[in-house]
Structure 1
């Protein structure tokens, strides 16, 4: 028999935290690496976001929807990093 949770923890904050971390990592990579090494470092940063998403979702202590929450965290992180890297790519095309 399953016991219902009386006050389930909110899980959306953990997902958004990974997105914010992805934005910070992407901006740091954009500023501190050259254009030729940026794609490789973005992959490393996304891997760090994956481990962070696992850690945050395991820390929450809820097993229901674990895979969906980790997937939403990593997919959102990939989209955030992609948009920021697109901005850096377009900025590198502008002569300056």
Structure 2
């Protein structure tokens, strides 16, 4: 039997945590990975962010809005990694 939550936990923190992890992983990929392998590693990172988003939202234990929260987490991670990859591409054009 489930109990009614009088004051539910905020879920925006879990969404933003996935975005921050995506940014940190993307920057570390840009610094540590050779240019020809960056796209592949950014794709792997996005897959990891998807798994992390599921784990974080399951940890909250709230079924209401689960799909929307996971989608927001993954879409934000996609945008973060996309902006970072554009920055890497521009840096490669300017220096190369």
**TM bracket, shorter-chain basis:** over 0.9
Match of 2:75 in 1: 75
Q: Once superposed, which parts of structure 1, at least 4 consecutive aligned residues long, lie more than 6 Å away?
A: none
Q: 1:6 aligned to 2:6?
A: yes
**Which is richer in helix?**
2
For residues 17-32 of structure 1, the aligned pairs below 5 Å read 17-32=17-32
Please, what TM-score do these two structures have when normalized by structure 1? 0.93
Match of 1:66 in 2: 66
Relative to the length of structure 2, the TM-score reads: 0.93
Shift, 1:94, TM fit: 1.1
- 1:29-68 per-residue CA deviation (whole Å, 9 max, x = no partner) reads 1111111111110010001101110110000010000000
Q: Distance in 1 between matches of 2:3 and 2:53?
A: 27
Aligned residues: 95
Q: CA RMSD in A?
A: 1.4
Unaligned runs of 5+ in 1: none
Q: Which runs of 5+ in 2 are unaligned?
A: none
